[in-house]
Amino acid sequence: MSNHQARSSRDSVTSTLKNRTLGIVSLILFLTVGWNYWLPIAEDFFNQQTKPPNPPNVDFLAYYNAGVRFERGDNPYYWVMPDPEGIILSDYLYPPTMLPFFNLFSNLEYEQARHLWLFLYAFSYITAFVVLLFMVRRQFRLTFLVLGLLLTIASYPLLLHIRNGQSDVL
């Protein structure tokens, strides 16, 4: 092996170690920021009432109410006047094929159902991200992971989806 090849090989290893170290430090930084900053904000968004006196997660409330009405044999698309507390009983706009899925949630109390919905949402988001991560070439995975985490913790639209209980990821 020539002197030039040995130096080139050493430089390549050094560069790879520097990039990996930078990626790991960035990953630790993003996880720390995510845990201490983003998660509390996401929790606040999740519990925020956007249309008082309705409970939090107005979109999920529509899915939940549609599941309840479907369970009772009522029309989930039928708009009725708000009950005395002012809660609208149907905002459901999705196809009928989704009703059996939303019916599964109607057997739970609303608070339990919305927490299960958040878990399914997070699980789907993380699963999709991991699948994409493994589709990326191995040499770019750490960079993809760091950039994906950065975009996740900087994503205001994701927080709005969590707040409303939307079904976009599912």
Q: Where are the domains of the chain?
A: 22-164
The C-alpha atoms of residue 102 and residue 65 are separated, in whole angstroms, by 9
Q: Check residue 150 and give its pLDDT.
A: 87
| Residue 20: partners with Cβ closer than 8 Å, 6 or more residues away | 142
Helix %, strand %, coil % for the chain, to 5? 70, 0, 30
Q: Check residue 13 and give its pLDDT.
A: 58
Q: Check residue 99 and give its pLDDT.
A: 94
- What sign does the CA torsion over 97, 98, 99, 105 have? positive
User: pTM of whole model > 0.85?
Assistant: no
Number of Cα atoms under 13 Å in the Cβ half of residue 3: 0
Q: Check residue 2 and give its pLDDT.
A: 60
- Return the closest-CA partner of residue 54 out of 164, 166, 168, 160: 164
Q: Check residue 34 and give its pLDDT.
A: 83
**Do the Cβ atoms of 151 and 158 come closer than 8 Å?**
no
- pLDDT tens for each residue of the chain, 170 residues long: 565 555 555 556 566 777 788 878 888 888 888 888 888 998 998 898 887 887 899 899 989 989 998 998 888 887 665 555 665 556 788 889 999 999 999 999 999 999 999 999 999 999 999 999 999 999 899 889 888 988 998 899 999 999 999 988 88
